């Protein structure tokens, strides 16, 4: 696993790696519940503490609490219609899955609010990052105090798009590289721009410099040539 927010006590936050096994019910590889139990136990989290959403590649965010715990833990009974979660409660483990898409973790140490977002390219262009910041602000966070870590995802070295969706990124021309017939997009750069535009301090945005397509210790939809058999899981919980 790879830790998020390493310097902060009272917080458990990490992303699994391929060696941790498949942690998603959306794919067929391995014993998902067993793999999740093992992964969570290494973080001193119980499986029943987790809350997951169905991840529809949008920008909708839900505020959750202890009454939502267990959603998506043992079967596909996720909270539906969302790609982001926020909570101000301790002991509630927010979970998102990824296999090239971008996991984004949020933490306000001043008031103890945490958030987790899944951002595919559609979620990026619809600015789920701003939605997350807005929800945290409504719960009591000062935008300038929120810390953000962008997790491992497909990098600009590998994220190629078709010409017919190029217009989706027209607001970010400096994040698009065109070389011959190839069009590559830097999702990290777009997300950082959006976070800063939403009121996050540039010094409070960090992340993992890993490309899931290049590095074989991650599940990757592009790397697998669509024969994907698993996904990583990112979790954040205040203890």
Nearest to residue 17, comparing CAs of 29, 3, 6?
Answer: 3
Strands 84-87 and 61-63: parallel
Nearest to residue 60, comparing CAs of 7, 130, 5, 113?
Answer: 130
pLDDT of 61-79, one tens digit each? 999 999 999 999 999 999 9
Would you say residue 86 has pLDDT above 70? yes
pLDDT tier at 30 (50, 70, 90 boundaries)?
Answer: confident
Would you say residue 180 has pLDDT above 80? no
User: Where exactly are the structural domains of the chain?
Assistant: 2-154+204-238
- Predicted confidence at residue 163, as pLDDT, reads 86
Q: The whole model's pTM is what? A: 0.95
State the average pLDDT for the chain.
Answer: 94
- Predicted confidence at residue 158, as pLDDT, reads 84
Strands (E), the chain: 2-3, 11-15, 50-52, 61-63, 84-87, 93-98, 102-108, 113-119, 147-150, 176-179, 182-185, 205-207, 232-238
CB-CB neighbours of 197 under 10 Å:
12
pLDDT tier at 27 (50, 70, 90 boundaries)?
Answer: confident
| Span 178-185, average pLDDT | 86
- Predicted confidence at residue 72, as pLDDT, reads 96
pLDDT tier at 48 (50, 70, 90 boundaries)?
Answer: very high
d(CA 147, CA 105): 8
Would you say residue 226 has pLDDT above 70? no
- Predicted confidence at residue 52, as pLDDT, reads 98
d(CA 104, CA 106): 7
Half-sphere exposure of 131 (CA within 13 A, CB side): 22
CATH of domain 2-154+204-238: 3.60.140.10
pLDDT tier at 28 (50, 70, 90 boundaries)?
Answer: confident
pLDDT of 131-163, one tens digit each? 999 999 999 999 999 999 999 999 988 888 888
- Predicted confidence at residue 179, as pLDDT, reads 82
Task: Give me the percent of the chain exceeding a pLDDT of 70.
Answer: 98
d(CA 119, CA 191): 9
Half-sphere exposure of 179 (CA within 13 A, CB side): 7
**133 touches 165 (CB < 8 A):** no
The sheet with strand 102-108 has its strands ordered as: 61-63, 84-87, 113-119, 102-108, 147-150, 205-207
Q: Does residue 168 sit in helix, strand or coil? A: helix
Would you say residue 234 has pLDDT above 80? yes
Helix (H) or strand (E) holding 137: helix 128-139
DSSP secondary structure string, 84-131? EEEE-STT-EEEEEESSSEEEEEEETTTTEEEEEEE-HHHHHTTHHHH
pLDDT of 92-142, one tens digit each? 999 999 999 999 999 999 999 999 999 999 999 999 999 999 999 999 999
């Amino acid at each position: 696993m790879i830790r998020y927010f390493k310097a902060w006590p009272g917080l458990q936050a990490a992303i699994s790696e391929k060696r941790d096994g498949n942690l998603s019910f959306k794919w067929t590889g391995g014993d998902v519940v067993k793999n999740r139990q093992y992964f969570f136990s290494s973080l001193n989290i119980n499986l029943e503490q987790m809350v997951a959403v169905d991840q529809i590649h949008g920008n909708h965010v839900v505020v959750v609490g202890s009454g939502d715990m267990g959603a998506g833990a043992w079967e596909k009974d996720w909270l539906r219609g969302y790609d982001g979660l926020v909570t101000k409660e301790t002991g509630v483990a927010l979970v998102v899955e990824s296999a090239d898409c971008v996991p984004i973790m949020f933490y306000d140490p001043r008031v103890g609010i945490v958030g987790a977002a899944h951002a595919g390219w559609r979620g990026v262009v619809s600015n789920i990052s701003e939605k997350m910041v807005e929800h945290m602000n409504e719960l009591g966070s000062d935008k300038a105090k929120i810390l953000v870590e962008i997790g491992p995802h497909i990098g600009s070295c590998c994220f190629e798009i078709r010409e017919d969706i190029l217009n989706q990124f027209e607001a970010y021309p400096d994040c698009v590289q065109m070389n011959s017939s190839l069009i590559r997009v830097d999702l990290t750069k777009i997300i950082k721009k959006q976070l800063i535009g939403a009121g996050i301090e540039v010094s409070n945005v960090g992340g993992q410099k890993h490309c899931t397509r290049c590095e074989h210790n991650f599940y990757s939809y592009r790397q697998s040539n669509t024969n994907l058999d698993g996904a990583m899981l990112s979790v954040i919980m205040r203890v």
